[in-house]
C-alpha cells in the first residue's frame, strides 16, 4: 500500500486523444488540459508529435507518440523509421504496437528483434519506451511469452491495449503481466478506463501508468472524494 497525493495520481495518467479525426483545436485542448492537470504525458498519433511538442514547450508534460498504431502490421524497418522520426520532431515517449501476426505464427525471434531495435533507439535518445501487446487478441500463453521477451529486452513499460481493439485493459491482464515482469519492467493499463474505481483497481493490480481519455473526470472524482473525507492523500 502507498499514499498518493492528487498530484502523484495525476502523474500516473497519459492523457489521450488518438482519434483519426483529431483536429489542431483538439490537440490544443488536450495539451492545455495535460498541463493544467499535471498529467504525465499526452498520448497522440505520431504525426502530431511536432505540434504537441510546440504546445507543451516549457511544461513537464511528455509527448507520447503512438507507433504503427493501432494495428502493428508494419515492418521492423518502418517502425524504427517512424520511431526515429517521432523523436526527431519532439516525441519524448514511444508506444509501439507489436506485430501480432508474427507472434501468432510463433516467431518469437522476430518479436524480440522488433522490440530490441525499437527500445534501443529510445535508449539512445533518452526516450521512454512502451510495448503495446493488444491483449484482446492474445492467449495467456502468448502474453506470457511477450512478458518473457520484455524481461530480457527491458523496455520501460509493457502495455495492455491500444484502446482500438474489441476490448481494453482488464485487471486479470495487468495482474498477469506484473507477475511475469516483476520489477524489471513497468506495466501500463490502457483502454476502457473511464472512472476512479477502475483507475484505482488498475493501480492496485500493478499498473504504474494509465492511458485514458477520461483523466480529468477521474481526477475530479478523486479530488471530490478526498475533500469529502478531508484527506490530502489516498492509500492504494
Reference 150, options 82, 85, 103; nearest CA is 103
Selecting among 159, 178, 186, 201, the annotated active-site residue is 159
Q: Annotated catalytic, 159? A: yes
DSSP three-state, residue 16 = strand
Q: Annotated catalytic, 204? A: no
Residues 67-77: b if buried by 16+ CB within 10 A, e if exposed: bbbbebebebe
Selecting among 40, 79, 188, 201, the annotated active-site residue is 188
Report the C-alpha gap between 75 and 88 in whole angstroms: 20
Q: Grid coordinates representing 8?
A: 502523484
Q: Annotated catalytic, 156? A: no
Please give the DSSP secondary-structure letter assigned to residue 236. -
Report the C-alpha gap between 15 and 36 in whole angstroms: 11
Report the C-alpha gap between 189 and 14 in whole angstroms: 10
Q: How far is CA 130 from CA 35, 92, 158, 188, in A?
A: 22, 11, 5, 8
Selecting among 14, 62, 95, 173, the annotated active-site residue is 95
| Strands annotated E in 100-235 | 128-132, 157-159, 186-190, 207-212, 233-235
Are 217 and 194 in contact by the 8 Å Cβ rule? The answer is yes
Report the C-alpha gap between 219 and 55 in whole angstroms: 22
Q: Which residues are catalytic?
A: 95, 159, 188
Amino acid at each position: 500500500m502507498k499514499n498518493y497525493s492528487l498530484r502523484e495520481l495525476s502523474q500516473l495518467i497519459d492523457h489521450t486523444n488518438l482519434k483519426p479525426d483529431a483536429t489542431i483545436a483538439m490537440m490544443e485542448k488536450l495539451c492545455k488540459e495535460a498541463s493544467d492537470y499535471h498529467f504525465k504525458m499526452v498520448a497522440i498519433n505520431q504525426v502530431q508529435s511536432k505540434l504537441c511538442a510546440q504546445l507543451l514547450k516549457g511544461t513537464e508534460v511528455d509527448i507520447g507518440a503512438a507507433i504503427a498504431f493501432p494495428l502493428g502490421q508494419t515492418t521492423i524497418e518502418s517502425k524504427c523509421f517512424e520511431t526515429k522520426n517521432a523523436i526527431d520532431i519532439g516525441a519524448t515517449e514511444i508506444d509501439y504496437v507489436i506485430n501480432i501476426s508474427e507472434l501468432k505464427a510463433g516467431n518469437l525471434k522476430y518479436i524480440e528483434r522488433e522490440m530490441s531495435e525499437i527500445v534501443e533507439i529510445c535508449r539512445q535518445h533518452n526516450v521512454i519506451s512502451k510495448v503495446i501487446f493488444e491483449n484482446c487478441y492474445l492467449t495467456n500463453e502468448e502474453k506470457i511469452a511477450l512478458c518473457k521477451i520484455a524481461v530480457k529486452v527491458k523496455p520501460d513499460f509493457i502495455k495492455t491495449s491500444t484502446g482500438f481493439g474489441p476490448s481494453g485493459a482488464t485487471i486479470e491482464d495487468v495482474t498477469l503481466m506484473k507477475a511475469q515482469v516483476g520489477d524489471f519492467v513497468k506495466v501500463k493499463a490502457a483502454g476502457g478506463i473511464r472512472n476512479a474505481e477502475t483507475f484505482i483497481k488498475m493501480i492496485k493490480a500493478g499498473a504504474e501508468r494509465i492511458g485514458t481519455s477520461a483523466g480529468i473526470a477521474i481526477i475530479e472524482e478523486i479530488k471530490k472524494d478526498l475533500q469529502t473525507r478531508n484527506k490530502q492523500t489516498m492509500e492504494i
